[in-house]
Amino acid sequence: MSDLESFRSEARSWLEANCPPSLRGTSGRPAQGEEVWGGRRQTYRNPEAKLWLERMAAKGWTAPTWPKAYGGGGLSRDEAKVLDSEMRRIGAAAPLLSFGLWMLGPVLLEYGNEQQKREHLPKIVRGEIRWCQGYSEPGAGSDLAGLRTRCEDRGDHYLINGQKIWTSYADQADWIFCLVRTDTSKKHEGISFILFDMATPGVEARPIRLISGSSPFCETFFTDVKVPKENLVGRLNGGWEIAKRLLQYERQNISAGGFGSGFGGGLELEDIAKKYVGEVDGRIADGDLRARVAEHRMQARAFALTVRRLADEAKSANGPSPAVSILKYAAARLNQERCELLVEAMGYQGLGWDGDGFSAAEVQAMRDMLRSKGNSIEGGTSEINLNVVAKRVLGLMDHQ
């Protein structure tokens, strides 16, 4: 048996013995309302979810490829793929959803110093600290490098003043990774990347209510926030490079399935259409809607095949294809279409906001559709994504 095959059988039997029953048979994400984001405020509606996180974290398998020295699993990429496929085989839910795992950890491994890695990475692996991302500001959205949150050197500490916006779950988070301005005379070269505790005096997070009724984002205010100097990651004024690298991880994560995971009571779009529009000879009765559902489902298939192809190519001798930069744009478009089609298929029943006249799935469809409008804005607008493709991939030039 090859090493990989023996790892497979080892992973399989460990998962068999350790993955609690209520976390199996999922699409990879826990049931709605039972997601585990970790952190000081985490409570568990399902006690098995806590057990699952503890067991996986003890193996380092919440961060399978991170070095063991920092609490990770120490697996090779191939072993991590095997683990992933074994988890899929039994439909094991992800034990931990975490910006620390997806975004901060990878850049700390690359840019952090030894002390920072030892301090932060193990806590991310175990889900002890929940992180949020302090990037956008009221005046710095698509033009992120225009950010103005000031960070001044006060000898034995830094002093931070300013405002962030669209900070995901800032009201739930324990720590923030934050872009700050350390030099006002330069744009990109005046930005630094810094970490601090959200419990520090002077930090305030206010949830923003969205058109969908939910509040996943906050406005975050910093007033004379004192931050220890050792919390600076990388070089002073060298934060932009780290910021961009982190955005790559963020976009990869969004496009690898971060968007909508198919609500509507577990039914697929075509089943919903059949249910609400009716069937003729086993087909969606409305031919026009049927054609658009098919078109969408084919787009979704093309997207899934592309994610897989690019992952295969990334491991080949030629290295990653530049085509990965289309994924975030394509994923946003796809999810928005799916959400619109769901609402359309449900007809009047898809138009409810609340109350007894509508099922939970119907209300969710409307709210998801509204929420999906953000998919082409957050993490870089679709227009910015297309700029990146045009300039970096296609080599088209700037306007003079």
Partner 1 sequence: MAVLSEEQVMLQEAAKNWTREVAPVTAFRALRDSANREGFDRALWRQMCEMGWAGILIPESYGGSGLDYLSIGLVLEETGRTLTASPLLSTALVATAALLLAGNDRQKTEWLPKFATGEALGALAVDEGAHHAPQRVELTARQKGAAFVLNGSKSFVVDGATADLLIVAARSSAAPGDENGITLFLVPGTHPGLVRSPLHMADSRAAARLQFRDVEVMSDAVLGTVDKGFGVLDAILDRARAGLAAEMLGHAAQSFEVTLDYLKTRNQFGQLIGSFQALQHRAARMYTELELTRSCIEAALSACDRGSAEVPALCSLAKARAGDLVHLVSNEMVQMHGGIGMTDAHDAGLYLKRARVSEATYGSPAFHRDRYARLMGY
- Say which residue the tokens 């930005």 belong to: 191
Which one of residues 50, 265, 313, 370 is an interface residue with partner 1 (CB under 8 A)? 313
Among 66, 111, 329, 358, binds partner 1 (CB under 8 A): 329
One residue of 323, 348, 354, 360 binding partner 1 per CB under 8 A: 323
Catalytic residue, from 86, 137, 250, 344: name it.
Answer: 250
Contact between 207 and 217 under an 8 Å Cβ cutoff? The reply is yes
CA-CA-CA-CA dihedral for 357, 360, 363, 365, to nearest 10: -140
Handedness of CA 245, 251, 252, 258 (dihedral sign): positive
Does residue 399 touch partner 1 according to CB under 8 A?
yes
Told to check if 115 binds partner 1 by CB under 8 A, we report no
Cα separation, 295 vs 298, in Å, equals 5
User: Which positions from 184 through 243 interact with partner 1, judged by CB under 8 A?
Assistant: none
Burial class (CB in 10 A: 0-12, 13-18, 19+), 93: buried
312 binds partner 1 (CB under 8 A): yes
Closest approach, Cβ 53 to partner 1, in A, equals: 35
Q: Binding residue for partner 1 (CB under 8 A) from 1, 17, 199, 394?
A: 394
Annotate each residue in 282-301 with x if it binds partner 1 (CB under 8 A) or - if it does not, as one string: xxx-----xx-xxx-xxx-x
Range 242-281, binding partner 1 (CB under 8 A): 270, 273-274
Look at strands 217-228 and 157-168 and give their pairing: antiparallel
Q: Is 77 in the site for partner 1 (CB under 8 A)?
A: no
Out of 302, 347, 354, 357, point to the residue binding partner 1 (CB under 8 A): 302
**Which residues have C-beta within 8 Å of that of residue 90, sequence separation ≥ 6?**
15, 16, 19, 24, 25
Least distance (Å) between residue 333 CB and partner 1: 9
- Maximum CA extent, the chain: 77
Question: Cβ distance 174 to 40 under 8 Å?
Answer: yes
Q: Is the Cβ–Cβ distance between 144 and 193 less than 8 Å? A: no
Query: Is the Cβ of residue 4 or residue 294 nearer to partner 1 in the bound state?
Result: 294
Two tokens, residue 160: 């931070």
Size of site (CB under 8 A) for partner 1: 44
Pattern 364-393, binding to partner 1, x per CB under 8 A?
Answer: -------------------x-xxx-xxx-x
Contact of 215 with 208, CB cutoff 8 Å: yes
Q: Is 398 in the site for partner 1 (CB under 8 A)?
A: yes
One residue of 303, 346, 374, 376 binding partner 1 per CB under 8 A:
303
Asked if 69 touches partner 1 (CB under 8 A), the answer is: no
Residues in region 330-359 near partner 1 by CB under 8 A: 330
Q: Is 143 in the site for partner 1 (CB under 8 A)?
A: no
* Nearest residue (CB) to partner 1, 137 versus 270: 270
Which stretches does DSSP call E strand in 217-265?
A: 217-228, 232-233
State how far the Cα of 133 lies from the Cα of 177, in Å rounded to an integer: 5
Q: Which among 337, 274, 250, 271 has a CA at the least distance from the CA of 302? A: 337
250 classed as catalytic: yes
Nearer to partner 1, 167 or 385 (CB): 385
CB 327 within 8 A of CB 307: yes
Q: Which residues are catalytic?
A: 250
Task: List residues near partner 1 by CB under 8 A.
Answer: 270, 273-274, 282-284, 290-291, 293-295, 297-299, 301-303, 305-306, 308-309, 312-313, 316, 321, 323, 326, 329-330, 383, 385-387, 389-391, 393-400
